[in-house]
Amino acid sequence: MTLRKSLPYVLLPLASLVFAEFSVPGGLVRRFFGTASDDPGVRVVEEREGNLTHIFVTTTNCLDVTITLEAQLQNMSALPVLPVTVETQGRRRVELVTLQTLNPTQPSGYPYTYRWRYGGRGGHPDGTAYLLPFEARAHHKLFQGYKGTFSHQAGSANEYAHDWDLAENSIVQAARDGMVVGVRQDSNSAGVADRFSNSSNYVIIRHGDGTYGEYLHLKQNGALVKLGDTVHAGQAIALSGNTGHSSRPHLHFAVFRVIDGNTRETLPVKFQTRDGKVQTLEQGKIY
């Protein structure tokens, strides 16, 4: 086959691939092979003072963070005893642990690992009915609800979460009064691979009963609130997008509390819908 005759067989598939890449939100290739963007919310730093080592957590875009630190100590003691779980509770810098060398003449070490989650522990739902997290004049489909089989499986960290079919740039509204304790809006990464799990833009709101509401997959630079703001139910807080572990533009909303730096649990809540009912929402329905 001559080069001239073979060109259509090469160019047509290539053209089809290019068309699919730019016609599908987020792009097919970018969904699987794109670069993820890690959440910059937490940094752990060490400071030495004689035979003591202090390990601190510092926060940037999250006021409420729960972090669990573990270490393998060699010739060292820890106060408090490890593993340790600490909540920042609005503070930007908190000491996690102080390590002390037991015998300065012997080798010592403390290789450590840590895991963190935004939010805090101990929230107890008070039965408040939530508003739908978008404009009152809009109607959107709940394409994945409680215990959804795609990513809200029973027993998972998103068991009682909601995924709404919101086009990019849709107004996201607070579903309940509270304080903004987490804002991220720097990411433009999205994909279906697990490595995109920490690439989502978000707004996190602390409620009066100690629970938290999370609004995920927001547009880059789409936050309409800032850390420390007090917001009211129905207030515009962000623009929806397609960032993080996401296959298409949508809004993820859930109410949760943290167990420790490794685990959290989402909580079932009821919503006040436009017909005046207070109810648990059903997957597949438009509200």
Mean pLDDT computed over 253-282: 96
Helices (H), the chain: 3-23, 28-33
Q: Who contacts 29 (Cβ-Cβ below 8 Å, separation ≥6)?
A: 21
pLDDT in tens, 204-226: 999 999 999 999 999 999 999 99
CA 275 – CA 113 distance, rounded (Å): 50
Mean pLDDT of 6-15: 46
What band does 156 get if pLDDT is binned at 50, 70 and 90?
very high
How far is CA 181 from each of CA 24, 167, 229, rounded to the nearest angstrom? 33, 25, 8
DSSP state of 67: E
d(CA 35, CA 22): 17
Once rounded to an integer, what is the mean pLDDT over residues 16-38?
Answer: 48
**What average pLDDT does this structure show over 133-143?**
95
Position 138 in a domain: no
Please indicate, yes or no, whether residues 51 and 108 belong to a single structural domain of this protein: yes
Q: Does the residue 26 lie in any domain?
A: yes
CB of 236 within 8 A of CB of 213?
Answer: no
Average pLDDT over residues 20-30: 43
19 with 79, same domain? no
Are 23 and 70 found together in one domain?
no
pLDDT at 153 over 60: yes
75 and 112: one domain?
yes
Sheet holding 236-240, edge to edge: 171-173, 236-240, 218-223
Q: How confident is the model at residue 34 (pLDDT cuts 50, 70, 90)?
A: low
Return d(Cα 271, Cα 131) in angstroms, integer.
6
Looking at the structure, do residues 57 and 89 belong to the same domain, yes or no? yes
Decide: residue 247, CB within 10 A, 0-12 exposed, 13-18 middle, 19+ buried.
Answer: middle
Q: Which domain-ending residue is among 102, 118, 134? A: 118
In this predicted structure, what is the pLDDT of residue 232?
A: 98
pLDDT the model gives residue 39 = 85
Dihedral of alpha carbons 149, 155, 158, 163, sign: positive
- Give the confidence band of 4 by pLDDT, cuts at 50, 70, 90: low
Higher pLDDT, 35 or 264: 264
* In contact, 83 and 56? CB cutoff 8 Å: no
Q: Is there a domain that residue 19 lies in?
A: yes
For residue 8, which amino acid is it? P
d(CA 57, CA 224): 27
Whether residue 80 is preceded by a cis peptide bond, meaning omega within 30 degrees of 0, is yes
Q: Is residue 103 part of a domain?
A: yes
Do residues 51 and 68 share a domain?
Answer: yes
| Residue 95 shares a structural domain with residue 70 | yes
Same domain? 114 vs 65: yes
Q: Does residue 47 sit within a domain?
A: yes
In a domain, 92, yes or no: yes
Pair (19, 73) in one structural domain: no
Average pLDDT value for residue range 176-202: 94
Q: What is residue 33's predicted lDDT score, i.e. its pLDDT?
A: 52
pLDDT tens digits, one per residue of 189-200: 999 888 998 899
d(Cα 45, Cα 201) in Å, to the nearest integer? 24
What pLDDT band is residue 163 in, cutting at 50, 70 and 90? Answer: very high
Inside any domain, residue 127: no
Average pLDDT, the chain: 90
Domain identity same for 51 and 26: no
Residue with token string 């290789």: 111
Total domains in the chain come to 2
**The domain containing residue 99 runs over which residues?**
42-118
For residue 95, tell me if it sits in a domain. Answer: yes
pLDDT at 275: 87
Other Cβ atoms closer than 10 A to 11:
10
Tens-digit pLDDT profile for residues 66-75: 999 999 999 9
Q: Please indicate, yes or no, whether residues 19 and 82 belong to a single structural domain of this protein.
A: no
Residue 172 confidence (pLDDT):
98
pLDDT of residue 169: 97
Query: What is the distance between the alpha carbons of residues 101 and 62, in angstroms, rounded to a whole number?
Result: 33
Q: Which of 164, 173, 161 is nearest to 137 (CA)?
A: 173
Tokens of 287: 């509200």
pLDDT at position 241 is 98
Residues 60 and 111 in one domain: yes
